[in-house]
Amino acid sequence: MKYVIGIDLGTSAVKVLLVNQQGEVCGEVAKEYPLIQEKSGYSEQDPHLWAEKTAEALAELVQSFNGDAEDIEGISFSGQMHGLVLLDEDHHILRNAILWNDTRTTAECGEIYDAVGKDRLLQITKNPALEGFTLPKLLWVKKHEAALFERASVFMLPKDYLRYAMTGNIHTEFSDAAGTLLLDVSKKEWSNEICELTGINPDLCPPLVESSAFIGTITPEYALRTGLPQSVKVFAGGADNACGAIGSGILADGRTLCSIGTSGVVLSYEENGDKDFDGKVHYFNHGEEDAYYTMGVTLAAGYSLSWFKNIFAENENFESLLAGIAEVPPGSNGLLFTPYVAGERTPYADAVIRGSFIGMDASHQRRDFVRAVLEGITFSLHESIEIFRENGKTIDSIVSIGGGAKNEEWLQMQADIFNADIIKLSSEQGPGMGAAMLAAYGSGWFTTLLQCADAFTSTVKTYKPNSENTVKYQELFSIYKQVYAQTKSLNSELQRFRK
Ligand SMILES: Nc1ncnc2c1ncn2[C@@H]1O[C@H](COP(=O)(O)OP(=O)(O)O)[C@@H](O)[C@H]1O
Ligand SMILES: O=C(CO)[C@@H](O)[C@H](O)COP(=O)(O)O
């Protein structure tokens, strides 16, 4: 039996999966790392720690493997998107990575529009200028840390740094490059026009390859450190959402994914790169060659829940925190939550907005708050589904993955709020599985990714919408949608009091 490894560099942890030729997960190790948040809106991580924790996780995975490590044929990656990793000429890291959920770059987004023009930016990159994307971060470092920026020789996306640490080779691939705002998404090449207009040297952009491209083998030092055979083939990998889509079989038109990790996304497969959503949803290259996907993003989905847990139930696990929610009716006894604790992206690209609990009552218990948090996150994702439906997409069944898919009540809530069947797969680790599938496909085990997905994924349960709850949630959703507009100016006034 042969094996592949999928590495998912998430925001909360790195997860490594050992998968056999039947798609069975034979080993799994996760290692957490913290976010560094110096100020409100700032979010960074140390790439050294990513590399360190990944090597530790791989060493543990290999050590606990009962078979012959020589049978591990391939490795690939899935990574949190958009994060800026800057290397100097000797390929040393210049500063902490600035992450996808860092919103310090509102001014730089304005400068991009001024330099390129909104319409032209949309034509080339298919996306608007959002604080989380990589180009605004490059411009921020250029402006605020000019001496350091002078020393930069190349930038990378987070998982590309892991691949570099293993192989010594520098690349990125199209699905992650699409989230930089520097890629011509249809032509699949770096946009010299955007580089020139925004004053970014195109030499900073790493070489581009396909997600399934063979990059090389691991270095002898890395083999020694982890116990992996030096022969193991390394494949490029993809953005976590592209990999989540691959790992969930979102490889044909009409298939939709909901992923609740630190962020939350609703994602839909697109055969072509020429549809027009007017920048309302993200439009990126898929990990499958020449395919695309559209996606709405809730910045703080699982993050809102882990924020709540850290503040109010630090010593409990998620299972015990969520234990009482089935006893609370839809609507959490009149309590509404908006999950804007780190600002928002879809449908409101707004770095200043912050979260709210509306309707707090002396009778509310902690479990009402917990249910309200889950409902608020799910309402926010429903706003993305609404955009897709308004643009003519039929969404009647959705695969749900990520940490949020671990809880049965939350899966039923998704069915009730989205008014669609929710499909739970045998593993909720879509991105790690997608990375393993890129390695399996790259190793020649299958002729297409779809064939691999059919072999590797299976449905364990389908959650059907409960019509009574769906009606209640429709009413609540229309109240939820008013909270953004009614709290926007209050949050602008509060901004100057933030850390
Ligand atoms: N048992 C659980 N029930 C519900 N939600 C959970 C559970 N465990 C984790 N989560 C949620 O999942 C999130 C982490 O999801 P994950 O997919 O691992 O994130 P990432 O890829 O961003 O690191 C946490 O922030 C938490 O909100
Ligand atoms: O910014 C985006 C997508 O545009 C996020 O989805 C990141 O890719 C982080 O993902 P998770 O750590 O939540 O999986």
R_g (Cα) of the chain, nearest Å:
22
Structural domain contains residue 307: no
Q: What would the two tokens of residue 462 be?
A: 């389908």
Pocket test residue of 306, 311, 381, 424 for ligand 1, highest count of atoms within 8 A of CB: 306
Percent of the chain with pLDDT strictly greater than 90: 96
Structural domain contains residue 192: yes
Structural domain contains residue 454: no
Rounded CA-CA distance 262/246 in Å is 19
pLDDT at 274: 80
Rounded CA-CA distance 380/378 in Å is 5
Structural domain contains residue 63: yes
Structural domain contains residue 70: yes
Structural domain contains residue 416: no
Distance of CA 414 to the CA centre of its chain: 19
pLDDT at 211: 98
CATH number, residue 111? 3.30.420.40
- Name the residue with tokens 């599938």: 437
pLDDT at 428: 77
Number of domains observed in the structure of the chain? 1
pLDDT at 427: 79
**What does the DSSP assignment read for 234-279?**
EE--EEHHHHHHHHTT--STT-EEEEESSSEEEEEEES-S----TT
Active site residue 240: yes
Structural domain contains residue 480: no
Distance 481 CA to ligand 1 centre (A): 25
* Domain that includes residue 130, residue range: 3-241
At 285, the amino acid letter reads N
Residue from 326, 336, 332, 339 nearest 363 by CA? 332
Q: If DSSP codes are grouped into helix, strand and coil, which group holds residue 24?
A: coil
Which value does ipTM take for this structure? 0.98
Distance 271 CA to ligand 2 centre (A): 22
Task: Find the residues whose C-beta lies inside 6 A of ligand 1.
Answer: 10-13, 261-262, 302-303, 305-306, 318-319, 322, 402-404, 406-407, 410
Beta strands in 336-437 (DSSP E): 336-338, 356-358, 397-401, 421-425
Structural domain contains residue 404: no
Which residue numbers in the chain have pLDDT < 70? none
